[in-house]
A and B are shown apart, each in its own frame.
Chain A
Amino acid sequence: MDKKLAVYICSGCSIGETVDVEKMAKVAEKEYKAPICRVHPCLCGKEGLELIQKDMAAEGVNTMVIAACSPRVKTAAFTFDPTAVIAERVNIREHVAWCQKPKDEDTQMMAEDYLRMGIVKAQKSELLEAVSDPISKTILVVGGGITGITSALEAAAAGYEVVLVEKQPQLGGFMSFVKNRLPQEPPYQGLEPNGIAEKIQQVLYNPKVKVFTSAKIARTSGQPGQFDVTIEAEGKATEVRVGAIVMATGWKPYDAAKLGHLGYGLSPDVVTNVEFEKMAASGQIKRPSDGKAPESVLFVQCAGSRDKEHLPYCSSVCCLATLKHATYIHEQNADAKVFIVYKDMRTPAQNERFYRFAQDHPLNFLTKGEVAKVEKSGDGKLSVSVTNTLLGEDLLIPVDMVVLAAGMVPNSADGEAIRAFEDAKLKAEKGDSESQRADAAKKADELKCHQGTEILNLTYRQGPDLPVLRHGFPDSHFVCFPYETRRTGIYAAGCVRAPMDSLHAEDDALGAAMKAVQSVELASKGKAVHPRSQDLSFPSFFLQRCTQCKRCTEECPFGTLDEDEKGTPKPNPYRCRRCGICMGACPERIISFKNYSVDMIASMIKSIEIPPEEDEKPRVLVFMCENDAYPALDIAGMNHVMYDPCVRIIPLRCLGSMNIVWIADALSSGFDGVMLFGCKYGDDYQCHFAKGSELANRRLDNVKETLQRLQLEKERIEVHQLAINEYDKLPGLINKFMDLIREIGPNPYKGF
């Protein structure tokens, strides 16, 4: 495309009173030979927008730079079709006019530099293209329990074809063994029929759902919209192409053998809640030892859960399950005594009514307490000693049966750990040295428990399954975006994602199915999914210059890139979230987007004027995450908080897309310092791309070498984790760093 550039400078909202906009226009006209450059008192108004439209129609303007307010506001007014127009916004309001001294030389220089950067960015940008590859909109659901069945039925009801894969011979999962469900409707007191059988029939006879039982996923290759899945069922392999995957593999009960301290294994009359449920569902609750109906039963809550030695988390459903089990007992024998020993009764929301209902039963005895010991007593009964009770005394309770309310363990596979195991195993055999082989063998041994746990069998370089977070849940760990996993197009739902009851699992199934549907719809239009939804840009790789360093394939938080035998990256564009972390990782600078590249940012940096040392005007480059730190600086501007005029801000898609070559470029061309603002990382990470800010921090270690080579002080680079609401801190951090830079003195490379 032949670019026809137009530069528009708005003088409204006190911009005109702060900077000399006519002088800015000269920068565009003289330095960049912009054929059109217009100053307008209110560019976002009707007249201003018409001016732009007119230039597009009459002058063929297809590349424009709009120097006005922050790109976060007036979005509708200044949004153009990215396949037809390149439009770059330059923030001279929030980031200049509202936070700098009016009519000051430094303010003017700042505004002019931002304009230069914007023009260069527009010059280096290319139009985007809407890609349309053949995209399968079929949804694969892995797991045929209540979550999986619900996902399948609901996706089918929205018009999508579904493939449902279950490892057992029958559908239904745990619900098949359940007598009743918890109350789901007002008045939240009576138990509900199970209902799973009807759901199984519905899914089996749904023409849009293809069901595979006794089946497993032998292989999943490809990418969203184009996953090729090999399903092995009854000795036969079937290949299907699907667009997205819902992983609803459910849970397993915590291993009761580890609950010996609570009497499991001591007597057959100590059973788990799952065993008890199955017994109730089969018709009669009997004491395993003699087949008699129990007259007294004690429930031990949090058997394994909320226990650092076992499951540190709360399994969420056990309190309610026990109250349900108490109801079963009284349905069978109205005179039976039920004891419940709990840490806290957790019956959230409307379920409180069911708890109240159970409390009102004269033969339910509930107490906070700790079960110290379960023993056999002479009369064939069990004797339970309970300490720290609310009654202020220790109790010794004789009962016919003890039920351990054991918790839920997710049926997940730790994709990254499996990969690490495979890598270690390989290194143990083929490592370079004896010690390397020994270390690898040790590591492989530690990770051995992951061997053979694969579920999805993804052919991804980063491992065959979803990465898991704490406690084995492949959850997103985002409060705001609970379905975001680190594998695009694959969404976890139900008890594999978090412990939950069957009602919540059905709700969760809907949400995950929605995300799956959405991911295929967006893929069919070549658009990115959350958080850069609608983005049409894709990374491209200039592979002739690739040195197979594997940084991109290892660092992408979404496992986008596979590798060939040599380690050359094999892109899978539909897995990509367009964050640019691969671009930041690449030392050879071979990864770029049409509207975001290493060269583009480097050129922007180069466009900034570096005043000579004697002017005593230091320059500091600031890279900011555009999602959090950048809006925070906008708000500081809205609050009219002043800060040092010697900084130049460059927003990045994610701090993880920061390529250290930019820092080297900046320092060797005379910038006096570099600041980086990313999001919080670690367990409670806030990075929208999960790993970006963490990776950027790690890369800075390499920058230290650069500094050493240039013989520059390490203090010239500062990195901060900044949350979006820390706008009150941000100007202070900038000013403090500028003070430090002035103290250290100018970069000796100035003027070279």
Chain B
Amino acid sequence: MAESGGVEKRGKPVLVMGGGIAGMTAAIESAEAGCDVVLVEKGPYLGGRVARMNQYFPKLCPPTCGLEINFQRLKKNPGIEVLTLAEVEKLSGSPGAYEATVKIAPRFVTDACTLCGACEQACPAERTNDFDYGLSKTKAIYLPFKMAYPAKYVIERTACPEGCKACQDACTYNAIELSEKARTITVEASAVVAATGWRPYDAAKIDNLGFGRCANVITNVMMERFAAPDGPTKGSIVRPSDSKAPASAAFVQCAGSRDENHLPYCSAVCCSASLKQATYLRAQYPEMPITIYYIDIRTPGRLEDFYQKVAEEQKIRLVKGKVAKVEEDAATKDLLVTFEDVLAGKKVAEKVGLLVLATGIVPNTEGLPEGFKKDDFGFLARKGAKGGFIAAGCVSRPEEVSATVQDGTGAALKALQSVVRSAHHG
């Protein structure tokens, strides 16, 4: 038999947009097969949404465990160039020979940063911490999280007091460049992977569920931060209104999802996510009543094991029914939740101490170059994109981490095909 191919003759790099778990996977998997990769991430760190989660379902393991391995793979691979605070502004060319204009915002901190932390101590200003969904503050110069890669501080310049250079003065290593300007570079690419991920649906739009109106209504992504040891409460799950333990907690499934007025699709992960979050609560509050209001519990495949295990062992009350209304008791800040108990066939109202909205997944497609096709819901369609344009992860469909990794790996093969083609034709 004829000998098989490979990437002996290197083509142009693979351009990956998005440094979350899907994009990192696409980048690392293609680089380990021999491709050169340019990974472009909008934020200051890699790991995206998963870095902000406390645990993964169904194993209840910390996402940083897998991230650490991925960071190690990435650090050891000279074929991957990582650009953070970067966005693709323009993309031109044809399959196998694309040219991307990448705008890189200033970080104001250079590679000389050693993470010594002197700047952070010296900094007099604060900023709202988006990593914690606004639940905490950091200094204006901050490290996104302790295991962040790239391991470098970053400055939110708009938070700096006029003329302040306290951080620069404190830095012994000349790692701070307050005059750094945005720059634009050109990247050649044979294939473009869009792995720009998702954001939670804006819960404030779901009027009847009380988010923004009632202090103790939070979203599922906020719950991840409350439970995380590096979160705003160092892992203790408390009510935002009084920082005290809730007497009871409940989850509202399909908060926005499966609703023609909000997200007509199912966000696929929220059932398992709420079951997982119920275990966070149970670990801290062994006797607390925990309820999940759901339409259908959707735990496909082996996630069913997880569902059964949590339902049996964690004493969770599952109520099939849609929540109609959430009101706040002005004095106690408790919530009065009105829902239709479908199996009992009646409308019920009950008091809940902390209410978690299982908000859904919205794809991040803003600013993506033309050539990707979107479906009716705004996700990138799997088929019909321009040659060498590949969509992976939650930007193309709501899915759990494991499926996202599969997707990122598959995208890497599609990218490799373009690299190989461009090497032979270019």
Spell out A's residues near B (CB within 8 Å): 12-14, 42, 44-46, 69, 72-76, 79, 136-139, 154-155, 157-161, 184-188, 210, 240, 243, 306, 312-316, 344-353, 356, 368, 388, 390, 392, 470-471, 473, 475, 477-483, 498-500, 503-504, 507-511, 513-515, 517-518, 520-522, 524, 529-531, 533-534, 627-628, 631, 635, 638-639, 679-680, 684, 686, 688, 723-728
Which of B77, B147, B302, B343 touches A534 (beta carbons < 8 Å)? B77
Listed A/B pairs (5) with beta-carbon separation below 8 Å: A73-B114, A74-B114, A349-B397, A470-B302, A631-B64
Report if B376 contacts A (CB, 8 A). Answer: yes
Contact with A along B287-299 (1 / 0, CB 8 A): 0000000001111
Which of chain B's residues 237-256 have a Cβ closer than 8 Å to chain A? none
Whether B147 contacts A635 by the Cβ 8 Å rule is: yes
Q: Is B29 an interface residue (CB 8 A)?
A: yes
B301 adjacent to A514 (CB under 8 Å)? no
A498→B302 contact, CB < 8 A: yes
Residue among A159, A471, A504 making CB contact with B302, cutoff 8 Å: A471
Which one of A12, A74, A724 has the highest number of Cβ atoms from chain B below 10 Å of its Cβ?
A724
* A154 with B417, Cβ < 8 A, contacts A42-B173, A185-B375 known: yes
Contact among B4, B60, B397 with A684 in the assembled complex (CB-CB below 8 Å)? B60
Q: Is B368 an interface residue (CB 8 A)?
A: no
Interface stretch among B91-99, B159-167, B406-414?
Answer: B406-414
Given A76-B75, A346-B300, answer yes or no on A243-B375 (Cβ-Cβ < 8 Å): no
B406 touches A69 (CB 8 A): no
B258 is contacted by which of A13, A352, A483, A498 (Cβ under 8 Å)?
Answer: A352
Q: Which residues of A contact B4 (CB under 8 A)?
A: 136-139, 159-161, 243, 520
Q: A349-B266, A350-B375 are in contact. List 15 more A-B contacts (CB 8 A).
A: A161-B5, A185-B375, A188-B376, A349-B399, A352-B266, A479-B401, A480-B21, A481-B66, A482-B403, A482-B405, A531-B72, A534-B73, A684-B58, A724-B62, A727-B229
Taking CB atoms, residues of chain A closer than 8 Å to B69 are 480-481, 530-531, 627, 688
Q: Separation in Å of the B35 CB from the closest CB of chain A?
A: 10
Q: Report whether A313 and B376 are in contact in the complex, using a CB–CB cutoff of 8 Å.
A: no
Question: What total of chain B residues lie within 8 Å of the partner, measured CB to CB?
Answer: 96
**Which of B212-220, B329-337, B380-388 is near enough to bind chain A?**
B380-388
B266, A511: Cβ atoms under 8 Å? no
The 7 nearest A-B residue pairs measured at CB: A159-B5, A480-B66, A510-B410, A137-B4, A511-B409, A344-B296, A725-B62
Nearest Cβ on chain B to A657's Cβ, whole angstroms = 16
Pair B406/A348 contact, Cβ less than 8 Å: no
Which listed residue, B61, B296, B376, touches A680 by the CB 8 Å rule? B61
Q: Which one of A12, A314, A514, A517 has the highest number of Cβ atoms from chain B below 10 Å of its Cβ?
A: A514
Q: Is B112 an interface residue, CB under 8 A from the partner?
A: yes
Chain B residues close to A by CB (< 8 Å): 1-7, 21, 29-30, 32-34, 54, 56-70, 72-73, 75-77, 112, 114-117, 146-147, 151, 172-173, 228-230, 234-235, 258, 264-268, 296-305, 308, 320, 342-343, 345, 375-377, 379, 381-384, 397-399, 401-403, 405-407, 409-414, 416-417, 420
Q: Which B residues touch A530, using CB under 8 A? A: 32, 69, 73
Complex partner residue of A157 from B54, B57, B345, B417, CB under 8 angstroms = B417
In the docked arrangement, what's the CA distance between A481 and B89, Å?
Answer: 32
Q: Give the residue of B3, B65, B114, B377 whose beta carbon is less than 8 angstroms from that of A480.
A: B65
Known: A349-B397, A499-B301. A240 touches B1 (CB 8 A): yes
Q: Is the CB of A353 within 8 A of B296?
A: no
Alpha-carbon distance A728/B146, docked complex (angstroms) = 12
Determine if A514 and B266 form an interchain contact, defined as CB atoms under 8 angstroms apart: no
CB atoms of A480 and B401 under 8 A apart: yes
Distance (Å) between the CB of B223 and the closest chain A CB?
16
Interface centre among B5, B264, B382, by most chain A C-beta atoms within 10 angstroms, is B5
Assess the A514–B412 pair: CB atoms within 8 A: yes
Residues of A within 8 A of B173 (CB): 12, 42, 45
B413 in complex: contacting residue of A73, A514, A726, CB < 8 Å: A514
Q: Are A344 and B229 in contact (CB under 8 A)?
A: no
Are B64 and A725 within 8 A (Cβ)? Answer: yes
Minimum C-beta distance from B257 to chain A (A): 8
Q: Find A161's partner among B3, B375, B399 (CB 8 Å cutoff).
A: B3
Query: What are the residues of chain A within 8 A of B228 when measuring CB–CB?
Result: 725
Q: Are A306 and B304 interface neighbours, CB within 8 A?
A: yes
Query: Whose C-beta in chain B lies nearest to the C-beta of A390?
Result: B342
Measured between C-beta atoms, what is the minimum distance from A43 to chain B in Å? 10
Cβ B65 vs Cβ A724 within 8 A: yes
**In whole angstroms, how far apart are the Cα atoms of A510 and B391 in the complex?**
13
Give the complex CA separation of A139 and B397 in angstroms: 29
Would you give the shortest CB distance from A413 to chain B, in whole angstroms?
19
